[in-house]
């Protein structure tokens, strides 16, 4: 099971640590505290990232006013596979990134909802690297 510390979750979502802590206190995202560290399960973080994207889609004024450049850290929110290809969706701050790749590549990278990854954008191609 992939988990994220508050600071990692904040970086992925493009918000402050305090915002993530407030969301935890408000039960917007479930978290567990073990050994003095608060952590969020990857799947729960992916759900929150998706809901934030939905909010941003409804309100186009949300998000930063600068464009994303080349490499964007984020979290995998959805993977759809068939026998040959996979569609990988990511939340990178307020941005939704979709990459098409071979199903074999997605499996080798271990891509699934909740996994942290980097989307590298070059022209119309998106390359996804899993962070370890």
Domain 3-58 - what CATH class? mainly alpha
Every domain of the chain and the residues it spans: 3-58, 71-130
Q: Which fold has domain 71-130?
A: OB fold (Dihydrolipoamide Acetyltransferase, E2P) (2.40.50)
Please, which residues have CB within 8 angstroms of residue 14's CB and are 6 or more apart in sequence? Answer: 63, 64, 92, 93, 94
Q: What does the block give as tokens for 109?
A: 């990278």
What does the pLDDT look like over 56-71, one tens digit per residue? 555 544 444 434 457 7
Within this chain, domains 3-58 and 71-130 share the same CATH topology? no
Asked if residue 52 lies in contact with residue 94, where contact means CB atoms within 8 angstroms, the answer is yes
86-87-93-95 Cα dihedral, nearest 10 degrees? 150
> How does the average pLDDT of the chain come out, rounded?
85
Say if residue 114's pLDDT is above 80.
yes
Please state which of the ranges 6-15, 48-57, 112-121 shows the lowest mean pLDDT: 48-57
């Amino acid at each position: 099971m992939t988990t994220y510390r508050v600071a990692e979750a904040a970086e992925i979502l493009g918000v402050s640590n305090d915002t993530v802590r407030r969301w935890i206190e408000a039960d917007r995202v479930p978290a567990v505290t073990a050994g003095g560290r608060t952590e969020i399960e990857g799947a729960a973080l992916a759900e929150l990232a998706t809901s934030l994207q939905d909010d941003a889609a409804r309100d186009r004024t949300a998000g930063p006013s600068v464009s994303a450049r080349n490499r964007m850290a984020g979290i995998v929110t959805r993977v759809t596979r068939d026998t040959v290809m996979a569609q990988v969706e990511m939340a990178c701050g307020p941005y939704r990134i979709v990459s098409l790749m071979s199903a074999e590549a997605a499996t080798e990278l271990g891509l699934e909802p909740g996994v942290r990854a980097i989307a590298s954008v070059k022209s119309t191609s998106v390359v996804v690297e899993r962070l370890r």
